[in-house]
């Protein structure tokens, strides 16, 4: 298809005498959110890195559409003390933006007031929001989010996922999202791939959640109808994490 941004075709990575992940095929198109889930060490980040061409697959092929803007929110970034870096410098890391664009991006993730703060003074959740702001300031065509909400408080988590959905609508980008919790993201996801060294199962969220392979990995005791977000259509989350009418949520 023409609008496909990134395609992995039967990809695998072989390191230190073992396959980190093997036989992964996936496709991310414009305006689509594809979610990767799976336990620790199941090859989610490896798969994301193949889709970014940071890792070359040892078998299979990875194809990335030419001349597209790509943004990446890695799982872990540590900024060393020796590096003086403010939020604004971090947003400008790869592409230089106008101050108004930076303000907008920081505003969307709710940390506009921290624009001149040294990144080492940010809390884990605030830094995660900064990573996200940097990624969306570029208005990417393809956005890879590796566990983007780690360290973000629970209400903020849902608001951030909602922000992600809004970004897709606004800039019509394709997103590859890695998450450990399908229930929080399922209502935003178009397609789910469940990994455990290989593709266990894949499909639209409502079918994956009933798949035997998925239940084996994650258990079935969590009723998908309890999905927090599904109940939240009737009220509003502020991007700074506060929720209007919070009692309805509980």
Partner 1 sequence: MFDDFIIRAFVAGIGLALITGPLGCFIIWRKLSYFGDTIAHSALLGVVIAHAMNFNLIIAVFAVSCFIALSLLFLQKRTNLPDDALLGLLAHSVLAIGLVLLGILSFIRIDLMGLLFGDILSVNITDVLFVWVGGSIVLIVLILIWRPLFAATVNLELAKAEGLNADLANAIFTILIASVIAISIKIVGILLITGLLIIPAAASRNLSSTPIQMAIISSVIGLVSVVLGLQTSMIWNSPTGPTILAITLGVFILSLIPLKKLLISKKKIELSN
Calpha distance 239→214 (Å, rounded): 31
**Minimum CB distance to partner 1, residue 120 (Å):** 11
- Cβ distance to partner 1 smaller for residue 77 or 246: 77
Binding site for partner 1 (CB under 8 A): 49, 52-54, 70-72, 74, 77, 79-80, 82-86, 89-90, 93-96, 118, 138, 144
Q: How far apart are CA 177 and CA 247, in angstroms?
A: 29
Question: How far apart are alpha carbons 93 and 78 in whole angstroms?
Answer: 15
Burial of 49 (C-beta count, 10 Å sphere; 0-12/13-18/19+): buried
Nearer to partner 1, 36 or 209 (CB): 36
Nearer to partner 1, 63 or 187 (CB): 63
Of 85 and 204, the one with the shorter C-beta distance to partner 1 is: 85
Name the H helices within the chain.
Answer: 44-51, 87-91, 99-108, 124-137, 154-171, 182-185, 205-208, 212-218, 246-249
Taking the least distance from each CB to partner 1, the nearer of 53 and 153 is 53
Nearer to partner 1, 136 or 159 (CB): 136
CB of 75 to partner 1, least distance (A): 10
CB 92 to partner 1: min, Å: 9
Tell the burial category of 67 from Cβ atoms under 10 Å away from its Cβ (0-12, 13-18, 19+): exposed
How far apart are alpha carbons 185 and 248 in whole angstroms? 19
* In the complex, least distance from residue 163 CB atom to partner 1, rounded to whole angstroms: 20
Residue 223 CB, shortest distance to partner 1, in Å, is: 37
CB of 24 to partner 1, least distance (A): 17
Q: Select from 53, 73, 70, 72 the least CA-distant residue to 61.
A: 53
**Structural contact between residues 135 and 128, judged by C-beta atoms closer than 8 angstroms:** no
């Amino acid at each position: 298809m023409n609008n496909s941004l990134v395609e992995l075709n039967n990809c695998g990575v072989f390191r230190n005498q073992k396959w980190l992940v093997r036989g992964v095929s996936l496709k991310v198109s414009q305006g689509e959110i594809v979610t990767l889930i799976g336990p620790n060490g199941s090859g989610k980040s490896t798969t994301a890195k193949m889709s970014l061409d940071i890792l070359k697959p040892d078998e299979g092929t990875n194809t990335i559409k030419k001349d597209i803007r790509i943004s990446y929110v890695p799982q872990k970034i540590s900024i060393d003390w020796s590096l003086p870096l403010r939020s604004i410098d971090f947003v400008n890391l790869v592409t230089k933006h106008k101050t108004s664009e930076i303000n907008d991006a920081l505003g969307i993730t709710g940390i506009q007031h921290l624009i001149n703060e040294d990144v080492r003074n940010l809390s884990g959740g605030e830094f995660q929001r900064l990573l996200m702001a940097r990624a969306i300031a570029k208005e990417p065509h393809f956005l890879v989010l590796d566990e983007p909400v780690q360290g973000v408080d629970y209400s903020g988590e849902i608001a951030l996922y909602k922000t992600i959905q809004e970004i897709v609508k606004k800039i019509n980008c394709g997103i590859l999202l890695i998450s450990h919790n399908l229930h929080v993201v399922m209502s935003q996801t178009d397609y789910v791939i469940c990994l455990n060294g290989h593709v266990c199962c894949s499909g639209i969220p409502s079918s994956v959640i009933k798949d035997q392979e998925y239940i084996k990995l994650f258990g079935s005791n969590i009723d998908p109808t309890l999905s927090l977000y599904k109940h939240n259509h009737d009220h509003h989350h502020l991007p700074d994490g506060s929720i209007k009418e919070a009692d309805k949520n509980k």
